[in-house]
């Protein structure tokens, strides 16, 4: 049996024009954008289609914008009868995955990411933060480097994206020192253009308030399996998922482990549902050379037609 996984992108996948083709093509996509705009009182479609990029990338705008596009792309796939067996989402994208799995309504998904963006933005204005991608060292070595400098300030692993791509996060000085040491060990260090130290203790001030907001939102047992960032495992318990999502804000994203789990589960078709190709790019680094997989992005009509033609 050919099993399919839907993967939902998050921050870093945004681009001006995202979602516009589907918006013009389908009435139900326009209804999703209308719902999002009514929910967050923001002109989401204008932000997505016209930008400017600097405004779109501000985390308080970006989180509902990317999520709306993800949900629109999901609705198009569902309309075409394209189904999935498991799903996962990268950081912000995990909220789209929760909606896809039937754990949270689309409107509550938008409410959650808008609140998440507000709180993350607030904390980023209180504490200066930095994030660097370390490319070329395994997680155990990066963990050791981080441990060396934790006494000098806040620094930790934010994302384990692929076997040898790990993002560190925290206060600028210790992040810089870990990066320098990683470079000495033969790795590359790439500073990321972010406004805060996401998935770190520097935004811990948002955690309790976000958990209180989560408590007001109804979660249901998922109808489809979802692999969670914090645990790299599946949960079918609504209360447990809600608790894990409360911890997700400051916990590392175990994306590599999530993808390995999908491979172990013999997933053969991977579909990135939303803008960009960040997740398919990572996946191609993770898949074993002889693994028989098909990998797709679906965020416009041409990509949808290709998928439909190849999977008719």
pLDDT of residue 1: 73
pLDDT of residue 240: 98
- Homologous superfamily assigned to 3-125+202-310: Malonyl-Coenzyme A Acyl Carrier Protein, domain 2 (3.40.366.10)
Q: What is the CA radius of gyration of the chain?
A: 19
Interval 88-113: pLDDT, tens: 999 999 999 999 999 999 999 999 99
pLDDT of residue 16: 98
Residue 130 has pLDDT above 80, yes or no: yes
Rounded-to-integer distance, Cα 83 and Cα 213, Å: 31
Contact 252, 272 (CB under 8 A): no
Tokens for 114? 């808008």
Interval 10-30: pLDDT, tens: 999 999 999 999 999 999 999
Share of the chain above pLDDT 70, in %: 100
- pLDDT-derived band at 312 (thresholds 50, 70, 90) equals confident
pLDDT of residue 63: 98
Residues recognised as catalytic: 91, 199
Interval 181-209: pLDDT, tens: 999 999 999 999 888 999 999 999 999 99
Terminal Cα distance for the chain, rounded = 15
Average pLDDT, the chain: 97
One fold for both 3-125+202-310 and 128-195?
A: no
List the chain domain ranges: 3-125+202-310, 128-195
**Whether residue 4 has a cis bond before it, omega within 30° of 0:** no
Residue 213 has pLDDT above 90, yes or no: yes
- pLDDT-derived band at 144 (thresholds 50, 70, 90) equals very high
Contact 176, 208 (CB under 8 A): no
Contact 60, 92 (CB under 8 A): no
Residue 163 has pLDDT above 90, yes or no: yes
Q: Could you tell me which CATH number the domain at 128-195 has?
A: 3.30.70.250
Interval 41-69: pLDDT, tens: 999 999 999 999 999 999 999 999 999 99
Residue 261 has pLDDT above 80, yes or no: yes
Contact 111, 210 (CB under 8 A): no
DSSP 192: -
């Amino acid at each position: 049996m050919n099993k399919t996984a839907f993967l939902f992108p998050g921050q870093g996948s945004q681009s001006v024009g995202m979602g516009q083709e589907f918006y013009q093509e389908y009435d139900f996509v326009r209804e999703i954008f209308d719902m999002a705009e009514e929910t967050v009182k923001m002109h989401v479609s204008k932000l997505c289609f016209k930008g400017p990029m600097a405004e779109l990338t501000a985390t308080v705008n970006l989180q509902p914008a990317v999520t709306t596009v993800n949900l629109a792309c999901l609705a198009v796939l569902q309309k075409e009868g394209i189904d999935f067996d498991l799903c996962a989402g990268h950081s912000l994208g995990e909220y789209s995955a929760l909606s896809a799995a039937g754990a949270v309504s689309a409107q509550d998904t938008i409410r959650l990411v808008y609140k998440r963006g507000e709180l993350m933005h607030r904390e980023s204005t209180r504490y200066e933060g930095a994030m660097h991608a370390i490319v070329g060292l395994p997680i155990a070595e990066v963990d050791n480097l981080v441990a060396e400098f934790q006494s000098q300030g806040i620094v930790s692993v934010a994302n384990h994206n692929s076997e040898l791509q790990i993002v560190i996060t925290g206060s600028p000085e210790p992040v810089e020192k870990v990066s320098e040491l990683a470079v000495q060990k033969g790795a590359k260090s790439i500073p990321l253009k972010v406004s805060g130290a996401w998935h770190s203790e520097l935004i811990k001030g948002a955690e309790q308030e976000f958990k209180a907001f989560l408590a007001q939102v109804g979660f249901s047992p998922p109808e489809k399996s979802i692999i969670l960032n914090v645990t790299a495992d599946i949960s079918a318990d609504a209360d447990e998922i809600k608790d894990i999502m409360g911890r997700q804000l400051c916990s590392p994203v175990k994306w590599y482990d999530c993808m390995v789990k999908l491979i172990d589960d013999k997933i053969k078709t991977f579909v990135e549902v939303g803008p960009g190709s960040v997740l398919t790019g990572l996946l191609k680094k993770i898949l074993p050379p002889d693994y028989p997989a098909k990998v797709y992005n679906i965020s416009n009509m041409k990509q949808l037609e290709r998928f439909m033609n190849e999977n008719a």
